[in-house]
Structure formats: C-alpha cells, structure tokens
C-alpha cells in the first residue's frame, strides 16, 4: 500500500534546519525528510559579479524513496540562476518524510541564496600582502531573534574596503574568520531571514566574539503544515491543521469553531456554534478529544472551546460515514487530536484578550524521555458585561495537564483536563437594596485519561482508562452529577502486505445523581403519558465493540468493511445497535484522483439538543436513533496545494427524536397559543419521526504552502422530517445553499490578514399555511482577522484583531426564527511566546 | 465614561506594551555610521562570551513609512451627526479599524470600519465600512475620500416606553410600507450608502508606530427599517421603512502599526 501524504514545510531554512525538526508546531506524527546528499550549486558561469545576494526559491516534491521527483520554480532571479537551482536540486537525496512511520511524499520549498564570488586579487603578491594583514579574528554565533534558534549554513560576508571575506556558519550557528584590524562591514545572509548588516571595529591582534541576532522573514507560529491528506480509509473527512485551525476569521482562534465553515455544516445561529451537520440535529454530532467524548465543548455555549488551542494539533471532521472507532452518533464527528510533546520543545506562553487570560507551559526532559505540558485559562466576560449590566455575572475556567513518555507505538500518557462555566443572576435584592447574585447555571467536568501504548507499526495496542466527574446545575438549588469510568482498547495488526485489521472495545459505567435543595430531584418529562425520563438517577452502562479490515489488493483500490455493536442500559431500558459499514476508494489516475463511496448504518441513544456535563443520554426507553448514510464523490489535486473534493450524500433517518419541534407553530403565529400547545411541543419532541437529508458538497481548497491558505465551500442540501400526517416538511435548520469563502494571507513584516464571507439561505419558519412553510431571509456575514507578530531578542508577541460580522449584517433564522437581529463582535488579543 | 476609559486603554495597549520594548532606532536620513562601542564591551573582546548585536537600521523611519506595505490603524472617533428631515440628531463615540496598503510614496488604499455608540436623541449603534484611496502629499499629512456602506441600529430615546410591534397581528394592521417624512419612525435597523472625506496628520514615532489626529466629514443615507409583528402569510416581520440622512463632523486620534 502506498500511503500518499502531501506535506509542506513552509518557510524552509537551510536543508539541515528542518532535518532537526525543532519546530514545536510540527505535526505529531510527521517526520520531515532529512538531507542525505546536497548537490553544490555554483554561481553561474558568465554571470557578472553583483553587489547583493541573489535568491531563488523552488518547490521540491520528495517521493517515498527520498528522491526529488520534481523541482518547480516558485520565485526566480534570472534564467541562469533559476536553471542552476532547478538542475542541481533534482539531484538532492533525502531520507523520505514519514507519517506514522510510513514513508510519504512531501512538497518542500527550498531557497538557495547565491553569494557573489569574491573579486580576485590582481596578482599573487597582492594575495600574500592581503593575508599578512589578517591579524585579527571575528568569531560569531548567529541566532534567530526572538526564538534564539541557531542559524546554520548562514553566509557571513565581511567587507574591508574592496575586499570581501567569506565564512559559513556551522550546524551550531558559529563562524570564525580572520580579518584585518580596523573597521569592517559585516553582512549575514540566510534564506529564511532578513538581511543583516553590522559594523565592527577591531584592534590589531584582537579577537571579537559577536552574537548576531537575525530577524526571520516570517515568524509564523505554524511553520510546518501538513497540506495533504494522510492515509485515508474513509470517504468524508476534512483535516485542518496549522493556520487553518487558529487563523480563520470569526473563530477567535478556536480550533473547534473552524468546523462551522466546512461543507455540510451550518449552525443553529451565528453566536451559538452548535453545528447542524448534513441536516442532522446538533445533538447528533459528537465532539471528541483524542477519540473521547467531550462533555462540554464551548464555554458558556458560544465562547471558546474548553481545551487550550495550543493543545490541539489537528481537527478531523467527518460530516458522515465516520470510522467505526466512533460510536453513539448518527450525524457527524469532530475530533480534536492533541499535540504530542517533543523532547526539544520547551515553551511558555501567555495569552490575554478582552474575555480571558491563559497560560501554556511545555517542558521536556530528554534524559527521562518525558514531556510535560500544563495549560489553563480563566474567563472574565463579567468584566465587560459589568460595564453594561450588573445583574448578570459570567465566568469560566479550564485546565489541562499532560505527562507523556515514549513514542507513537511505545509509551504512556497521563492526561488530566476539566472545565467549568457558571452563570449568576440577580434573583433578588438584600435589605439594603443591593442585588444579590445567585447561581443560575453551572456546568463543570473533570477527566483523567491514562493511556498505554504497546507494539510497533505492524502490531500495536492502545489501552486507555478514563475517569470523570460531571456536574450540571440549573437554578440555585438543583444539581445533577455523574461519576464515570470508561475503559477503551484499540488494536491494529498488519495481517499481510495488503491487509490490516483494526479492532476496539469501549466501555462506560456512569452513575447519575440529582440533588435538589429542599426536595426530590428528578427531571420528569412534561407529559406523564411519555415514558422517557430526562436523566434517571442510578447507573448507566454503555459498551461497544468494533472490528474492520483495511484491504488494499492493489495500490489503486482500498476496501474497508467493518461492523460496530453498541449496547446501552439504564434502569429497565436496554438497547442494542448493530452498525455494518463499508468504505471504498478507487484511484483513477496515477497520482491524485480518487473515486470514493461509503454506506453504513449509524445508531445512537437519544441525546439532549445541547450537550451538558452529566446530562447527555436520555429517554433510552424510546429506543435508539438510527440513520442509514450513503455518500459518493471524488477528490483530486488540481495543482500543488490545490485540491477539489466533491461529494453527494443521502441520509435516511428512522427514527429521529427531538427534531422538528422548535419552530413556532402556525397557531402560535396566529395568536392561538395555549397550554395544550405546550403539551404538543413536548409530545412532539418525544415523537419518533422519519427524516431524510441529501445534498452536494464542494470544497476547493488551497493549502498553506506559500503563505496563502483558504477554501471555497459550497453545500446544496435539503433536510426534511415527516410530520404527523406523513408529509415531508423542511427541518427546522434546513438551508438549501451554504457558501463559505475563507482566506488567510501572510504579508511581509509578520502581518497576516484573513477574511471570511458566509452567504446562506434562510431557515424555515411557519406561516398560516403550515409548519415550516416559509423561510427567513438569506444571511450574509463577513468576518475579518488581522495578526501581527512582534519580535524581541528572546521572545515573541502576537497581537490579533478578530471581528465577527464587520458590516453588522442582519441575521434571522435558526433558533431565533423570524426575529432578525444585528450585532458586531470584535476582540483584541495578545499572546507572548517565550 | 467607563466605556470611554476602557476603549482608551484598549487602543493604547499596543503602543504601551509594544512601544516600551520596541527597538529604539534613531531617525536619520544619512547612512548608518559605525557604532561607538561602550567601554564595558572592550573587556569582552577577549572574553569567551558573545557580544549581542542587532542589525543596524538600513533606512530612516520616515522613509520606512513611505515604503509600500501593509499597515493597521486603530483609533477612537467622536462626532456630531445632524439629522435631516425625520432623522434624529446623533452624538456617536466609538472605535475605528483601518487595514490599509501603502502602494507608493504618495498613495495608499485602505478600508475603514467604524463602530460607534450613539447617544442623545437616538440610542444605539452607528457603523460604517468605507473603501478609501488616500493621498500623502507631505510627510505625515494625508487626505482620504471614502465611499461605502453604513448603518444604524437603535431607537429614539423617547420611544423606549411606547414602541409598537411584537404583539399579535391585528387585522387592520398595514402591510410593509415606506413611511413618509411627516411620520416618526421610532426604531432604525438597516443600512445605506456612506461617503466621507478625511484629513489627518500622523507623527512618526519609530519604524513600528505612528500616531496622530484626524478630522472627518461624512454623509450617510440610511434606509431605516422597523420590524412590526410577523406577517402570517410569509412568517416574516412586517417592516416599516423610512430614509434618514445624516451629515456629520467627526474627529479622533489613531495609532498606526507598520
């Protein structure tokens, strides 16, 4: 099986630089290609001597054998210089890049800087005379300003009058050159750095040691970005990484919020990032962290996600047809993969914006093969809110701590994380007339995640044990808490060259308890006739097992059959779901174009519309929700770094719960609302219905290989539910057209600008002619983001402005129905990297 | 008052934080001269330690600001807006964000976004987004002309207690219509075209920052909409619309980061 991963190491230094793989942001499982043989590139014959340095940049495509398959000109400096670099660079030899241990193809920018050859002295006597004048010594250490990384292979040019003396920095960034006494002009050139100029003055027979600090051309925090797809066994996955995660306008740099601008996704409303994926209810899409469900995703529902962004290496998004390792959902899956610490990576970061402050610390202990990482944030939205209103207080915090040893297939990890949100409202005043804030809502969770990795690339096993405590409170008195234990096992065995077997077991035991100050604490469904309870006290057991075969009989065909079974038990209710699934991929040309298709069954227990800690699965006695998902399409690479992905899908949902009941009914519109309407609403929530959704998704994507990233995503879709009379009606959050344009561009002097435009049709609303028979106006939203990185001698400071809805465009639809509203949400933030 | 204070802090923060640490570079036109080393450095010459060196400036600050490149300007803006016809007067105060490109020594192109809290007889938000070519005739002096889209969101201060709408639809209630100027529209939520002219002077305070005052006149025509109860046939709100025109004079101060 030939794994095809196209990666790009943006902002490439000298070849030896990326071989060190020092960049802390590098993909966890990606190992950069390492130089084996460098072919010299000489100053072209017959080209005249120039005053300055000349640079040529090419893109090297390095194949799985480490050979340069192609060298393409990116920026030239004249035919002779371009030709010299193109001809020589195809002769370079590398140890190939690897992804998870497998060789992969990568694309690497390479810049060669030509140093003008020194002007020859007129005759031998002059040379001898000149050498006698070299009585002093200039020694130096060349480092990058801000990060203090050494700069290897930098060219040092010392000019004394008409004479030029050359030196090249070694792997430690040091150089040494004999110079005459007097005044010298020193220039340092490095492909990744701005030109450096300094004047030195040496006395005769003196030695001067200098530490030259070079400004980098671009101090992007994400210099190494996987720009292609790694090994793919599924049909519908979009992987985001690097700047695509943290620099998308309108997300405030939150990796999980980027999902909202991908194909097949809309939201219940702009400021509430609950995704509606391929026409499914928000509660049917699961959010995971390293394959473990997150009980609370966003602080205060619309704020930042509960995990520090620096912990997230990449986000995998599956709008449907997701792998068997994920169970318990019938919509999509969003899985944030945490970053594996590296033994060279020591970092301290502070961040501050109008809503929160945070810290991130990573410390490696190479001798013990250990890496430790801690992070935490405190949110203080009440500070700003207090300027406007003193009757509401909002606060949140989260923490993460991880220690890990070993590598991808051997080692262990202990990961602890948690988060808390609290809303306090003035329900009453004290005797002095001062408002007294009382708890209105509390959401809190803690997790301990222990992992043991055994084996190798051929046979591997991951054993995990997760313990957790969840707590949700509504009002000042009622609190639901959950204690859970979740063992997990994952195994993979390469049975033959063309066949791999993956399997896993999930378990979960959780004990719910509800406390009500001054009374019994059970939440009961609004209608006694309804059998389900929202959250039974007592034990709940969940178990899942899956197995799949990854079969690649020939390099252009991949077949992945598998099955997953999940068992749920709560009180007297027990449910079993069995989900067979199949994925097919067929490559139709030699390189980049794949046809793909998948079909499968997906089941889940009834879940709350909003995921809350400890309040998740409910009404199990109503049965499991089920969907039959099918998808077909193709993906191709149009040019290096430019990809096109087209998919069609059809999902049959039977049954769905908690759907098609949120919008206002025609009776309410006509003012005929009464208590019976409330009962109808509740009954409707608990009524199992049939649903269907189908559509077309197109994504044209430019990877972040040369400072520009972005995509155009378009979704044409229809999502419907069957009403009580058997008629198909539009789903509450159905949108026929969703168009997203996202772009981010690096500019000189460490500026980055980005924009996002969203244009989508409105959502259904009821009219006098029937439920969801009308539609709100289309929505336009424009977001803007500007980033600047300032560099000091030993640290970096990032500054950003992110403005959501810069033109204060009107929004209606979704949760707010026809009640149009306008808003603009700007923020300013800082991040210091030490 | 607290908002003003907070805004001042926010706008000043980049300068306060960054300006304090920004490399101090002498502004000069001539080529850099050889630095005179301190006496303390001489003792290091034969030491094993390395003497840290940053690159010398390669150009004067004023020249650096004339170079093509990207800039970002943040500032506060305050003014008076005279309402014409049925439009109420406004006293807006707020923030402006201007990303712009210096395309040549004398010309630049930018977009200015402003968001201002309106007080006085109309309470709410006034915003604008304009595209602006700018001419830089001399040192930090700049003249801009801008056209774009602006809007209002809010209601007359006198209308808090008796605003119509949001109840059950009465059979006699009219459908969406354009309200004539002799009637009073209490709420406004929409946009229209905006044009402005601005003069500014920015003092160069280093290679990274410049700062200075500006004055601006503008005119905005807003297609104000007030949503009533929902139309039972479409499910959408019944909308009353009236055109408001404002002419204003604004001034402010801003900080530009290069």
Confidence at residue A760, expressed as pLDDT on a 0 to 100 scale: 93
Closest Cβ opposite residue A774 in set B3, B35, B235: B235
Q: Which of A318-322, B58-62, B247-251 has the lowest mean pLDDT?
A: B58-62
Confidence at residue A24, expressed as pLDDT on a 0 to 100 scale: 34
- Percent of chain A exceeding pLDDT 70 equals 85
Q: With CB atoms and an 8 Å threshold, state whether A211 touches B50.
A: yes
Q: With CB atoms and an 8 Å threshold, state whether A753 touches B257.
A: no
The CB density around residue A12, as the number of other CB atoms within 10 Å, is 21
Confidence at residue A92, expressed as pLDDT on a 0 to 100 scale: 83
Confidence at residue A52, expressed as pLDDT on a 0 to 100 scale: 64
Taking contacts as CB-CB distances below 8 angstroms, the residues of chain A near B227 are: 820
Confidence at residue B78, expressed as pLDDT on a 0 to 100 scale: 94
Q: Give how far A608 is from chain B: nearest CA, Å.
A: 28
Taking residues A818-834, what's their average pLDDT?
Answer: 86
Taking residues A685-697, what's their average pLDDT?
Answer: 88
Confidence at residue A547, expressed as pLDDT on a 0 to 100 scale: 95
Confidence at residue A126, expressed as pLDDT on a 0 to 100 scale: 54
Indicate the helix (H) or strand (E) that contains A645.
strand A642-656
Closest Cβ opposite residue B237 in set A199, A767, A820: A820
Taking contacts as CB-CB distances below 8 angstroms, the residues of chain B near A197 are: 32, 55-56, 58
Confidence at residue A19, expressed as pLDDT on a 0 to 100 scale: 33
- Grade residue B36 by pLDDT with cuts at 50, 70 and 90: very low
Adjacent-strand bridge partners of A631: A598, A649
- Grade residue B82 by pLDDT with cuts at 50, 70 and 90: very high
The CB density around residue A11, as the number of other CB atoms within 10 Å, is 24
DSSP category for residue B177: E
Give the whole-angstrom CA distance, residue A792 versus residue A776: 51
Q: Which of A662-666, A755-759, A780-784, B254-258 has the lowest mean pLDDT?
A: A662-666
Give the whole-angstrom CA distance, residue A343 versus residue A406: 10
Between A222 and B237, the more confident residue is: B237
- Grade residue A341 by pLDDT with cuts at 50, 70 and 90: low
Confidence at residue A410, expressed as pLDDT on a 0 to 100 scale: 87
Query: How crowded is the C-beta side of B195, counted as CA atoms within 13 Å?
Result: 3
Q: What is the token pair recorded at A797?
A: 């400071």
Q: Give how far A442 is from chain B: nearest CA, Å.
A: 29
A164 Rama class: left (phi>0) / alpha (psi -120 to 50) / beta = beta
Taking contacts as CB-CB distances below 8 angstroms, the residues of chain A near B34 are: 183, 199, 201
pLDDT at A83 over 90: no
Q: Give how far B182 is from chain A: nearest CA, Å.
A: 27
Substitution target from A673, A807, A826, A831 for chain B, most B beta carbons within 10 A: A807
Give the whole-angstrom CA distance, residue B200 versus residue B252: 9
Q: Which residues are CB-neighbours of A110 under 8 A, at least 6 positions away?
A: A12, A15, A57, A58, A59, A60, A71, A85, A89
Q: Which of A19-33, A443-457, A799-813, B125-139 has the lowest mean pLDDT?
A: A19-33
Closest Cβ opposite residue A211 in set B53, B74, B230: B53
**Contact predicate B77/B252, CB 8 Å:** yes
* Count of pairs with CB atoms under 8 A, one residue in A, one in B: 153
Residues 803-832 of A with CB under 8 A from B: 803, 806-808, 810, 818-820, 822, 824, 826, 828, 830
Residues in chain A, overall count:
834
Closest Cβ opposite residue A669 in set B21, B227, B230: B230
Q: What is the token pair recorded at A30?
A: 């990606």
**Contact predicate A135/A180, CB 8 Å:** yes
Q: With CB atoms and an 8 Å threshold, state whether B50 touches A792.
A: no
- Percent of chain B exceeding pLDDT 70 equals 71
Substitution target from A822, A825, A829, A834 for chain B, most B beta carbons within 10 A: A822
Own/partner pairs, A49-54, CB within 8 angstroms, 24+ separation: A49/A116, A49/A117, A49/A119, A50/A116, A51/A116, A52/A116, A53/A113, A53/A114, A53/A115, A53/A116, A53/A155, A53/A189, A53/A195, A54/A78, A54/A81, A54/A113, A54/A114, A54/A116
Adjacent-strand bridge partners of A625: A604
Substitution target from A159, A193, A208 for chain B, most B beta carbons within 10 A: A208
Confidence at residue A234, expressed as pLDDT on a 0 to 100 scale: 60
Taking residues A295-313, what's their average pLDDT?
Answer: 88
CA triple B183-B184-B189, angle to 5 deg: 125
Q: Which of A478-487, A789-798, A802-811 has the lowest mean pLDDT?
A: A789-798
pLDDT at B29 over 60: no
pLDDT at A792 over 80: no
pLDDT at A214 over 80: yes
Q: Tell me the longest C-alpha to C-alpha distance in chain A.
A: 110
Confidence at residue A228, expressed as pLDDT on a 0 to 100 scale: 39
CB-based contact (8 Å) between A390 and chain B? no
**Contact predicate A539/A511, CB 8 Å:** yes
Which pTM was predicted? 0.77
Taking contacts as CB-CB distances below 8 angstroms, the residues of chain A near B234 are: 767, 774
Query: What secondary structure does DSSP assign to A169-230, as a single string?
Result: --TTSEEEEEE-SEEEEEEEE-TTB--EEEEEEE-TT-EEEEEEEEPBS---S--EE--S--
DSSP category for residue A431: T
Q: Is the peptide bond before A655 cis (omega within 30 degrees of 0)?
A: yes
Give the whole-angstrom CA distance, residue A12 versus residue A191: 8
pLDDT at A239 over 80: no
Closest Cβ opposite residue A211 in set B52, B55, B258: B52
Q: Which of A13-22, A729-738, B111-120 has the lowest mean pLDDT?
A: A13-22
pLDDT in tens, A553-571: 988 899 999 999 999 998 8
Taking contacts as CB-CB distances below 8 angstroms, the residues of chain B near A194 are: 55
Mean of the per-residue pLDDT values for chain A?
A: 81
β strands within B103-236, DSSP E: 107-119, 122-138, 141-156, 177-178, 187-201, 203-204, 209-230
- Grade residue B34 by pLDDT with cuts at 50, 70 and 90: very low
CB-based contact (8 Å) between A801 and chain B? yes
Closest Cβ opposite residue B113 in set A747, A776, A806: A806
Closest listed residue to residue B99, CA positions, set A19, A16, A754: A754
Q: With CB atoms and an 8 Å threshold, state whether A801 touches B72.
A: yes
pLDDT in tens, B140-166: 899 999 999 999 998 887 765 554 444
Confidence at residue A578, expressed as pLDDT on a 0 to 100 scale: 95
CA closest to B14 among chain A residues? A799
Confidence at residue A696, expressed as pLDDT on a 0 to 100 scale: 95
Between B135 and A615, the more confident residue is: B135
pLDDT in tens, A14-53: 333 333 333 333 334 566 777 776 677 777 877 776 666 6
Only one residue has tokens 């966003």, namely A298
Confidence at residue A447, expressed as pLDDT on a 0 to 100 scale: 95
DSSP category for residue B162: S
Taking contacts as CB-CB distances below 8 angstroms, the residues of chain A near B2 are: 387
pLDDT at B222 over 80: yes
Give the whole-angstrom CA distance, residue A357 versus residue A379: 7
Taking contacts as CB-CB distances below 8 angstroms, the residues of chain A near B48 are: 209
Between A528 and A1, the more confident residue is: A528
Q: Which of A46-50, A150-154, B133-137, B163-167 has the lowest mean pLDDT?
A: B163-167
Q: What is the token pair recorded at A143?
A: 């480092």
pLDDT at B123 over 50: yes
Q: With CB atoms and an 8 Å threshold, state whether B18 touches A797.
A: yes
**Contact predicate A594/A588, CB 8 Å:** yes
Q: Which residues are CB-neighbours of A545 under 8 A, at least 6 positions away?
A: A503, A504, A505, A506, A564, A565
Between A652 and A32, the more confident residue is: A652
Taking contacts as CB-CB distances below 8 angstroms, the residues of chain A near B97 are: 784, 801, 803, 826
Taking contacts as CB-CB distances below 8 angstroms, the residues of chain B near A730 are: none
Q: What is the token pair recorded at A732?
A: 């509450």
pLDDT in tens, A373-430: 999 999 988 777 777 677 788 899 999 999 998 887 889 999 999 999 999 887 777 7
Give the whole-angstrom CA distance, residue A328 versus residue A510: 15
**Contact predicate A804/A270, CB 8 Å:** yes
Confidence at residue B167, expressed as pLDDT on a 0 to 100 scale: 40
CA closest to B228 among chain A residues? A819
């Amino acid at each position: 099986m030939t794994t095809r991963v196209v990666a790009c190491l943006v902002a490439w230094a000298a070849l030896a630089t990326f071989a060190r793989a020092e960049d802390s942001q590098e993909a966890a499982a990606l190992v950069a290609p390492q130089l084996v043989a460098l072919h010299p590139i000489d100053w072209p014959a017959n080209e005249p001597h120039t005053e300055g340095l000349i640079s040529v940049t090419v893109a090297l495509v390095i194949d799985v054998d480490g050979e340069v398959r192609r060298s393409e000109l990116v920026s030239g400096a004249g035919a002779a210089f371009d030709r010299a670099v193109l001809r020589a660079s195809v002769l370079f030899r590398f140890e190939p890049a690897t992804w998870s241990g497998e060789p992969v193809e990568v694309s690497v920018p390479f810049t060669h800087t030509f140093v003008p050859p020194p002007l020859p002295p007129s005759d031998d006597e002059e040379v001898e005379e000149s050498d006698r004048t070299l009585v002093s010594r200039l020694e130096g250490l060349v480092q990058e300003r801000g990060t203090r990384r050494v700069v290897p292979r930098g060219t040092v040019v010392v000019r004394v009058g008409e004479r030029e003396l050359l030196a090249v920095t070694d792997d430690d960034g040091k150089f040494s050159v004999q110079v005459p006494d007097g005044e010298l002009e020193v220039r340092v050139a490095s492909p990744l750095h701005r030109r450096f100029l300094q004047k030195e003055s040496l006395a005769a027979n003196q030695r001067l040691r200098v530490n030259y600090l070079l400004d980098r051309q671009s101090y992007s925090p994400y210099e190494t970005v996987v720009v292609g797809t790694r090994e793919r066994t599924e049909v519908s996955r979009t992987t985001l990484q690097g700047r695509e995660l943290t620099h998308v306008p309108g997300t405030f740099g939150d990796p999980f919020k980027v999902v909202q601008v991908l194909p097949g996704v809309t939201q219940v409303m702009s400021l509430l990032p609950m995704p509606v994926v391929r026409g499914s209810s928000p509660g049917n899409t699961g959010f995971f962290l390293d394959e473990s469900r997150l009980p609370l995703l966003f602080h205060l529902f619309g704020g930042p996600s509960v995990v520090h962004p620096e912990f997230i290496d990449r986000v995998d998004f599956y709008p449907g047809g997701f792998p068997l390792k994920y169970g318990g959902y019938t919509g999509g899956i969003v899985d944030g993969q945490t970053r594996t610490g590296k033994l060279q990576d020591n970092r301290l970061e502070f961040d501050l914006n109008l809503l929160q402050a945070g810290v991130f610390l990573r410390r490696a202990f190479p001798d013990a093969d250990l890496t430790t990482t801690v992070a935490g944030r405190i949110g203080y939205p009440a500070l700003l809110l207090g300027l406007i209103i003193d009757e509401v207080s909002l606060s949140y915090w989260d923490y993460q701590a991880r220690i890990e040893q070993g590598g991808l297939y051997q080692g262990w990890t202990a990961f602890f994380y948690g988060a808390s949100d609290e809303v306090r409202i003035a329900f009453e005043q004290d005797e002095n007339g001062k408002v007294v804030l009382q708890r209105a809502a509390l959401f809190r969770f803690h997790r301990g995640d222990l992992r043991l990795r055994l084996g190798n690339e051929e046979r591997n096993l991951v054993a995990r044990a997760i313990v957790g405590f969840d707590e949700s409170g509504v009002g000042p008195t009622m609190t639901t808490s959950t204690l859970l234990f979740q063992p997990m096992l994952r195994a993979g065995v390469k049975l033959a060259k063309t066949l791999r077997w993956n399997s896993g077991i999930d378990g979960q035991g959780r004990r719910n308890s509800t406390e009500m100050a001054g009374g019994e604490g059970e939440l009961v469904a609004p209608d006694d006739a309804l059998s389900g309870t929202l959250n039974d006290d007592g034990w709940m057991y969940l178990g899942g097992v899956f197995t799949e075969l990854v079969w690649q009989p020939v390099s252009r065909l991949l077949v992945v059959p598998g099955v997953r079974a999940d068992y749920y038990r709560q009180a007297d209710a027990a449910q079993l779901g069995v989900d067979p699934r199949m994925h097919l991929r067929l490559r139709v040309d030699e390189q980049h174009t794949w046809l793909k298709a998948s079909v499968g069954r997906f089941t889940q227990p009834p879940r709350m519309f909003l995921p809350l800690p400890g309040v998740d699965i409910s009404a199990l006695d109503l049965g499991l929700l089920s969907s039959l998902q099918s998808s077909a399409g193709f993906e191709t690479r149009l040019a290096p770094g430019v990809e096109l992905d087209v998919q069609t899908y059809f999902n049959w949902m039977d049954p769905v719960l908690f759907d098609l009941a949120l919008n206002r009914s025609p009776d309410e519109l006509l003012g005929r609302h009464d208590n019976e309407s409330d009962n109808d609403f509740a009954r409707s929530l608990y009524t199992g219905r049939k649903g269907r959704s189908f559509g077309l998704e197109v994504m044209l994507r430019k990877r972040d290989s040369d400072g520009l990233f972005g995509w155009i995503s378009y979704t044409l879709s229809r999502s419907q539910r069957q009403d009580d009379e058997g008629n198909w009606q539009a789903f509450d959050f159905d949108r026929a057209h969703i168009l997203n344009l996202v772009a981010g561009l690096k500019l000189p002097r460490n500026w980055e600008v980005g924009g996002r435009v969203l244009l989508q049709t409105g959502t259904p609303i009821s009219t006098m002619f029937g439920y969801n028979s009308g539609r709100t106006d289309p929505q336009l939203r424009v977001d803007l983001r500007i980033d600047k990185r300032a560099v000091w001698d030993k640290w970096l400071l990032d500054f950003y402005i992110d403005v959501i809805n810069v033109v204060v465009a009107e929004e209606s639809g979704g949760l707010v129905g026809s009640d149009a509203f306008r808003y603009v949400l700007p923020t300013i933030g800082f991040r210091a990297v030490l | 008052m607290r908002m003003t204070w907070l805004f001042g802090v926010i706008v000043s923060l980049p300068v306060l934080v960054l300006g304090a640490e920004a490399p101090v570079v002498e502004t000069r036109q001539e080529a850099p001269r050889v630095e005179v080393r301190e006496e303390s450095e001489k003792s290091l010459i034969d030491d094993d330690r390395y003497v840290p060196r940053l690159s010398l400036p390669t150009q004067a600050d004023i020249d650096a600001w004339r170079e093509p490149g990207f800039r970002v300007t943040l500032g506060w803006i305050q003014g008076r807006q005279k309402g014409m016809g049925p439009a109420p007067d406004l006293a807006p105060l707020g923030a402006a964000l201007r990303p712009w490109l210096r395309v040549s020594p004398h010309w630049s192109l930018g977009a200015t976004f402003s968001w201002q809290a309106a007080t006085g007889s109309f309470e709410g938000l006034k915003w604008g987004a304009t595209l602006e070519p700018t001419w830089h005739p001399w040192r930090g002096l700049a003249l801009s002309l801008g056209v774009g889209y602006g809007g209002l969101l809010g209601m007359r201060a006198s209308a808090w207690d008796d605003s119509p709408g949001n109840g059950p639809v009465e059979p006699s209630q009219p459908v969406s219509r354009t309200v004539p100027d002799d009637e009073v529209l209490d709420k406004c939520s929409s946009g229209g075209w905006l044009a402005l002219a601005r003069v500014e002077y920015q003092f160069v305070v280093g290679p990274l920052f410049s700062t200075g005052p500006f004055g601006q006149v503008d005119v905005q025509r807003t297609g104000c909409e007030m949503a009533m109860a929902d139309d039972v046939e479409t499910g959408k709100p019944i909308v009353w619309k009236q055109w408001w025109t404002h002419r204003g004079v604004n001034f402010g101060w801003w900080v530009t980061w290069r």
